[in-house]
Every structure is written in C-alpha cells, then in structure tokens.
A and B are shown apart, each in its own frame.
Chain A
C-alpha cells in the first residue's frame, strides 16, 4: 500500500448526499481487475454516454479533472461493499475524500488502499464546497500527521482519526504484517476456541 502523508491539490466539490458505491463504480465493472481503466470507471454512468462520449460532469472538465481531493456531503460511499469503488477513486487520482459521514465499509476500504477519508462537520463541508465552487481550481491541503485540512481561504480544520489507522496510512503498512506478529496468541486462541465448539469444524451430515 502507498503511504499517505500530506497533499496539496485541486479539490472537487460534490454537492450530493448518499453517493453510494454503485455510483462510484457501477456494478457491471466489478469484475474488472484493478488497473488504470478504473480511472474511467469512476462515476462512469454519470460521466459517459453509452457510446463512450463524455457527458457534462464536473470531473470531466478542467480544473476538476485533475482533482486529488473530493469534498462531499454526508453518507459518502454507502451501499455495496465493493472495493472497486475505491480503486475507481484512486486510479482517477483521488487521495482524500472529505465528507460529514461515510458508509462504514467504504471508509474501511479507503484506509486499506491508501486513501484518506476525512470527517468534517456538515457546515464545514458545505463551506468548503462553496469556496471550491466560487473559485474553481483552488487547492486544499491535508496533513495527516497534524490531522489538519487547510481550506482555500487558509483556515485550518482539525479532524480525528484512529491512531492505528493513522500509523498504517503514514507508513503504508498493511494489516497482515501486523497480524502475523501475533501468531502464537492466534494459535492459542484457536486451540481453546475449537475445543469449546468442535461442531463448528465438522463436515455436513
């Protein structure tokens, strides 16, 4: 996993609550192996016509076509657990999504792929989107170590993040490396657990 440390980039405002993962990556693209084609899959059915030509969409036009940050509304990434929604964001170039709340599974998928989900209040998100609409192409800075977002007007917003998630993102660590350190405790747990519930490991009869 690529680490996330700091970023200063063009941010795109998306003024819509409850953007579900099916919008980020329509179901029929679920089977596409992860790769650069995911950049086009992001919001595919909103960005492209059936013949492949572009529709009118914020992310299709400069400066937002090079956005690395999205400022969204509430309940971003609700719905399906598909991780391909994160691949689509990431391959498009998005490294950070700021929203007032996230679908649980999607937020978790973001962390696992080096994409930072930042929770700010509804009011802060709305104010940021207004600034970005009024000054298209203005940049936002996100500093994970300091847990801050600096908006286009230079105002600092602090956000919370779990220390372990922060560490994994900063260092690009994946969870399996953490888990295998505990091999002995895992084995001991399993042995006790299995003797308590042996039927869980039996074949069907």
Chain B
C-alpha cells in the first residue's frame, strides 16, 4: 500500500499499541528555560532522564539580546538570571547537552538543531515548545508538547499518541518578485484558517517547495502550528542532504551512505492517500501582512482592512470587529497606510541567514526612520552575517544589530513593546499582548519588515525593490 511520509515515520516509531493509543519512540527532545515545570515534575516523582544523549537544552527565551559580554552574570534582571541558571543546573545535573548563553553555537531551539545536524530526516522529535514543527522541514515528524508529556519523554524517551490525520498542501509554480516563504505560509493560513489544520499533520508538496531552500522550508513548517496543526513537513531531497552534509551531528563516511539510503525511502509514495488536500498557486501569492490578532487575519499588502459589515456570519463579524478595535484600525483603510512604531526582524520563523540577507538587501536602499531591531537566530547566523558584512549594511541604515535569542517574539527576556505600540514583526504570533501587554503586532516577511522600517509604515517591498 502506498504510504505518506508521515505514515512511514510514524510506523517506524511504534513500540506498543494499546486501544488505539500508540507508544512511540522519541529520537530527540528539546527544551528551553521556560520548560522548568517538566523538570520540577520529574524531580517531584524522583525520576531521572532515561536517554540524556538524546535530549538537548537551549538558552533562548530568557536571554537578553544586548550586553552579553559577561554571560549569565551580566543579566541584570535577577528573576531572568535565575531562569537561565536553573536550566544550566538542570542540564548539568541530568547530563544533557546545553547550548548555553556563553556557547559559540547558542541560539533559538528551532534554529540550532538544524545547524548542528541534530535535526535529521525520518526522526521523531518532541520539543517543549509549539514551534517544534519547524524541524519538519527536514522530513521528520516534529511537534510541541506540554510539560507533562515532556516529563514522560524525559523519563522514558517515548510518548503516547493517537493517530493523526494528514493534509497535503500542494503549491506549484514560481513565487513572484519580492515574495518569500513567509508570504507563502501566511497565505496558506489566510486560506485554511487558524484551526484549518487541527488534528492534522501537514505535508507541504509541489514544485514551489522543492525549489525552496531549507531556510524557507523551515519558515513554512514553523508556522504549521498557527494553522492549528501540530506538525508540518516537507519530504527530504537533495536540498536537504546538501544542507546537512558535514554538520557536527550529521552522520559521516559510510554512516552517511547508510543514512542517505534510509532517508531516500521517506518521501510519500505515488498514490499515497491524504485525509484532505489543499492547493494554492504560487504566482497568486503576494507579499502578506496581518491586520488582526491571529495569523489568519491577514492579506496581501495591497489590500485594505476588511469591514465586519461585509461578513455574513455574526460571530465571525464580531471577532473581526474586536480584532480591528484592539489593533486601533478602521475598516477600509489601506494596509499600506498603517504606520508602525517599531520593527522586529528575528524569531525562529525568520532569523536565519537568508532572512538577514533579505532584510539587508532592502535596508541598503535607505535608512530606518523608526527603531528597527535585527536579532539573529543563533551565534552561527550572527557570525555568518558579519562575515558577509550584512551587520554593517544594517547598522549603516540605522538598524540595531543584537545578540541571538527569542527577544521580542515572546517578550519575556525584557525586550517588549509598550502598551499601544505597533510593531511590524517577522515572528509568528500576532495575539493580543504577545509582544508586550497592550502591544500590537503585524506579521510579515523580513524584506517587508525592513521596508516598513525605511518608510515608518507597512509598505509593499516590491515598490522599493523595483525602484532600486
């Protein structure tokens, strides 16, 4: 019987089946400072980590993005410092690998493992963070779990799961000028909705994805959770293998050949059946921005803020009106008339080298007229960008070049919006208060964010690039 990529990975990881619940082997587990509840539970029950070599910890959520010269001791806020120290202590006590604040490989938990070759095709990965879906870009099954499930993974290196449905999202064709993978995923979510993928694992297929870089695939898979799906995946191919070869944790020599032979069997078979199918046409996708307070509330930058009166369903209309009200917008106003106070280029969605390149390519066309932060996703990204001179371009254009971490994406390290502040952000969530209580968020691509910085308003980056 023809199988999907998801089914092949799933089947290979089943240890036990009990009344329709399956006990699955977990290859890798990831967590961060915010995962302290899982450790607390583990200790309360007097348990230890079963397979410490398969568990990795990251300092990202709570680390400051400036003044990092003094490492942990340099963290001014005592509460935050304690969170970072607590993770260090827990990692040391349990013998797990920590990519700590001082580590030259430090960065966000969804950016470092691919860079290090820890993320590989065919694996089952669990992370104490919903954007663990990012790793699916490598053709693995990767999803976020809560503290109780994480404790179970730590104690047993397995997880109980029920069967998932599959949805294939096919996009063919070439993306238009100025259109990026971020626009692709925002367009997908605008189409299927924030609950459209609930209960499903998404597979992104079609020529648009086979021509997409690993960085781009990671951006798309990252936001699968924003469509309600726990996981998203792209079949591994030569782009995947080329990215992986030579990475520190990637197999070497004869083991590489053995791994490759396994990986090449993973892509969905011809004729494999998905529970649902969705398709989009790449050339139809324009640069996107969100206007509302969830990721489906967005559209092409050339559009306007919608009018709740045009919506038939009463509840949907109320929901739209509430979002427009929170965002302090008016129905019918052009999206490109929305002025912003701040720009954030960063997060596990868009803080990889290609994202920094895209931002710099726009930044060089002018000067930021509002505070604009660039927060690379990892020390590796930061160094690479500096080697390419991108930091200089950005700084010359009045952007701020900071140290790697989650930063303004989730606003718990001290970086945050003030009430009423409006931010053009490359992160993944525009929920009320996500970037700071009372803050307002518009999601967009790195190039679009840089364009917003130059103009002080949401701007169609194509107009800027065309003029260049």
Report the stretch among B249-257, B335-343, B362-370 that lies at the interface.
B249-257
Known: A81-B128, A81-B146, A164-B21. A17 touches B319 (CB 8 A): yes
Contacts of B437 in A (CB 8 A): 26, 45
Minimum distance in angstroms from B229 CB to a CB of chain A: 8
Report the stretch among A2-10, A134-142, A193-201 that lies at the interface.
A193-201
A84, A101, A112: which has the most chain B beta carbons within 10 Å?
A112
Contact between A113 and B148, CB atoms less than 8 A apart: yes
New A-B contacts (4) at CB < 8 Å, excluding given A31-B33, A202-B251, A204-B249: A27-B410, A28-B412, A83-B147, A202-B249
Binding site for B on A (CB under 8 A): 16-18, 20, 22-23, 26-28, 30-31, 33-34, 45, 73-75, 78-84, 86, 101-106, 108-109, 112-113, 126, 162-164, 174-176, 178-180, 182, 185-186, 189-190, 193, 196-202, 204-205
Q: Does B195 contact A (CB under 8 A)?
A: yes
Q: Which of A81, A86, A102 contacts B130 (CB 8 A)?
A: A81
Contacts of B155 in A (CB 8 A): 176
Q: Does B53 contact A (CB under 8 A)?
A: yes
Complex-state Cα separation, A109 to B27, whole angstroms: 21
Chain B interfacial residues counted at CB < 8 A: 71
Q: Which of A20, A86, A200 contacts B27 (CB 8 A)?
A: A200
Interchain residue pairs A-B with the least CB separation, the first 4? A112-B148, A199-B251, A204-B248, A109-B146
Q: Does B83 contact A (CB under 8 A)?
A: yes
Q: Does B309 contact A (CB under 8 A)?
A: no
Q: Which of B15, B117, B195 contacts A74 (CB 8 A)?
A: B195
Contacts of A30 in B (CB 8 A): 34, 412
Known: A164-B18, A179-B158. A204 touches B116 (CB 8 A): yes
- B28 closest partner in A (C-beta): A200
Minimum distance in angstroms from B38 CB to a CB of chain A: 8
Complex-state Cα separation, A174 to B149, whole angstroms: 10
Known: A31-B34, A31-B83, A179-B160. A105 touches B146 (CB 8 A): yes
A73, A102, A179: which has the most chain B beta carbons within 10 Å?
A179
- B40 closest partner in A (C-beta): A33
B18, B130, B229, B322: which has the most chain A beta carbons within 10 Å?
B130
Contacts of A86 in B (CB 8 A): 146
Q: Which of B195, B198, B262, B431 contacts A23 (CB 8 A)?
A: B431
Minimum distance in angstroms from A31 CB to a CB of chain B: 6
Contacts of B23 in A (CB 8 A): 179, 182, 186
Complex-state Cα separation, A61 to B36, whole angstroms: 33
- B297 closest partner in A (C-beta): A18
Contact residues of B between 370 and 411, Cβ < 8 Å to A: 410-411
Minimum distance in angstroms from A69 CB to a CB of chain B: 21
Binding site for A on B (CB under 8 A): 15-16, 18-21, 23, 25, 27, 33-34, 36-37, 40, 45, 47, 53-54, 79, 83, 116-117, 120, 123, 128-130, 144-149, 151-152, 155-158, 160, 162, 194-195, 198-199, 225, 228-230, 248-252, 255, 258-259, 262, 294, 315, 319, 322, 410-412, 429, 431-434, 437
Contacts of B158 in A (CB 8 A): 179, 186
Minimum distance in angstroms from B6 CB to a CB of chain A: 15
Contact between B410 and A163, CB atoms less than 8 A apart: no
- A104 closest partner in B (C-beta): B230
Q: Which of B33, B45, B431 contacts A20 (CB 8 A)?
A: B431
Contact between A82 and B160, CB atoms less than 8 A apart: no
Contacts of B20 in A (CB 8 A): 162-164
13 A-B pairs with C-beta separation under 8 A: A16-B319, A17-B315, A23-B432, A27-B412, A30-B412, A31-B33, A75-B228, A104-B229, A108-B149, A179-B160, A200-B120, A205-B248, A205-B252
- B130 closest partner in A (C-beta): A81
Complex-state Cα separation, A162 to B16, whole angstroms: 17
Minimum distance in angstroms from A83 CB to a CB of chain B: 4
Minimum distance in angstroms from B320 CB to a CB of chain A: 11
- A189 closest partner in B (C-beta): B15
Contact between B83 and A178, CB atoms less than 8 A apart: no
Known: A104-B230, A105-B144, A201-B53. A178 touches B433 (CB 8 A): no
Q: Which of A105, A174, A196, A201 contacts B230 (CB 8 A)?
A: A105
Contacts of B25 in A (CB 8 A): 189-190, 193
Known: A103-B228, A113-B148. A82 touches B27 (CB 8 A): no
Complex-state Cα separation, A53 to B322, whole angstroms: 24
Contact between A83 and B146, CB atoms less than 8 A apart: yes
- B254 closest partner in A (C-beta): A199
Known: A81-B128, A182-B16, A185-B15. A27 touches B156 (CB 8 A): no
Contact between B433 and A34, CB atoms less than 8 A apart: no
Contact between A197 and B262, CB atoms less than 8 A apart: yes
Minimum distance in angstroms from B290 CB to a CB of chain A: 13
Q: Which of B83, B146, B228 contacts A82 (CB 8 A)?
A: B146
Minimum distance in angstroms from B8 CB to a CB of chain A: 14
